[in-house]
Amino acid sequence: MFRTPTAILREQLLSVHGIGPETADSILLYAGKHPVFVVDAYTRRILERHHLARGKESYDEIRVLFEGSLPSNADLFNEFHALIVHTGKHFCRARAPLCESCALQPLLPSASEATP
């Protein structure tokens, strides 16, 4: 199954009832070692708080942003996503974020900066 080209296998997975983009991409990346970036709620939250997304972008728009900005490498995507999950769980929380303790804090836009 995982020898199937990424785009074809992704479409096949998405055609299965109950499998959405995040699940399909998780299967491709983690089980199949395909270079696909997984977008989740942590990814969206971090992008929005850093004014890199407005919250209206589709799953695929965000996925393509990452895949177009990073070298196409499954190990890199895996590590990058793990770091996003860690940051989202421990610092960029939905309630009571800990921005002052986060390594990304210096990259936060100031309150006066407008959203893109």
pLDDT at 116: 47
User: Is residue 42 assigned to a domain?
Assistant: yes
- Euclidean distance between CA atoms 114 and 84, whole angstroms: 23
pLDDT at 50: 93
pLDDT tens string for the chain (116 positions)?
A: 999 999 999 999 999 999 999 999 999 999 999 999 999 999 999 999 999 999 999 999 999 999 999 999 999 999 999 999 999 999 999 999 999 999 999 998 875 554 44
- Euclidean distance between CA atoms 101 and 105, whole angstroms: 7
User: Is residue 114 assigned to a domain?
Assistant: no
Q: At residue 91, what are phi and psi to the nearest 5 degrees?
A: -130, -55
User: Is residue 113 assigned to a domain?
Assistant: no
The predicted model scores a pTM of 0.88
pLDDT at 49: 94
pLDDT at 110: 75
- Euclidean distance between CA atoms 39 and 57, whole angstroms: 11
Angle at 78 between CA 72 and CA 5, to 5 degrees: 50
pLDDT at 111: 58
Which residue segment(s) compose the domain that 35 sits in? 6-107
Q: How many domains does the chain have?
A: 1
- Euclidean distance between CA atoms 69 and 115, whole angstroms: 20
CATH of the domain at 91: 1.10.1670.10
